[in-house]
Every structure is written in C-alpha cells, then in structure tokens.
Amino acid sequence: MSYYKISNLEQYFKHYHKSIREPRKFWGKIAEENFTWYQMWDKVMEFDMAEADIKWFVNAKVNIAKNCVDRHLARRGNKTAIIFEPNDPTEEAQHIT
C-alpha cells in the first residue's frame, strides 16, 4: 500500500470509512509503509476531545526532508522536483531537479 490510487467514488468511501472506523490502524499502516522513521511511535494517536487536543505519532522521530526529497533521489534525481513560476509573466518558469 505505497499509495492509494482511487479511481471511483465507491473506492473513496471504502477507504474513508476504514480511516474513520479504525484510524490508528489505517494511519499507522500508511505512515509505516510510506515514510522512513528514525524512531517508531508509542501511539499512532491520542486525543482529548473535551480539549480538542489530538497528537499524532506520539514520541516518533522523522526527518521530513529525507522523506520528501532525499529518498527519491536514486530513482527520480534527474526529474523536476520544483517548478518556480516568476511573478513576471514574461519570464519563463524554472524547473529545478
């Protein structure tokens, strides 16, 4: 489950309802399979609805730059990562790898 490819509304609702019924299991699996963690969490989530306080991946450690950029370099290092659109519409966009 490296990602969800949802091609119709029925599939969307299936996954949506699973995320509502079992949020810890659903989001824990998504997080475990799609991110590199330096330290796994003690709890996927804990919440206090009276205080509207929700904590995700309690005590986990992650390097977001590694997950967003570094881990993709081997396969996608020569592909565009950022498209910079200048404010001046006469200037060309820059594609940054």
Q: Nearest Cα to 30, choosing from 57, 52, 1?
A: 1
Q: What is the pLDDT of residue 1?
A: 47
Q: What is the pLDDT of residue 5?
A: 83
Domain boundaries, the chain: 1-62, 63-96
Q: Nearest Cα to 18, choosing from 26, 30, 10?
A: 26
Q: What is the pLDDT of residue 2?
A: 55
Convert the pLDDT of each residue in 10-28 to its tens digit.
999 999 999 999 999 999 9
Convert the pLDDT of each residue in 30-81 to its tens digit.
999 989 999 999 999 999 989 999 999 999 999 988 888 888 888 888 899 8
Q: What is the pLDDT of residue 97?
A: 83
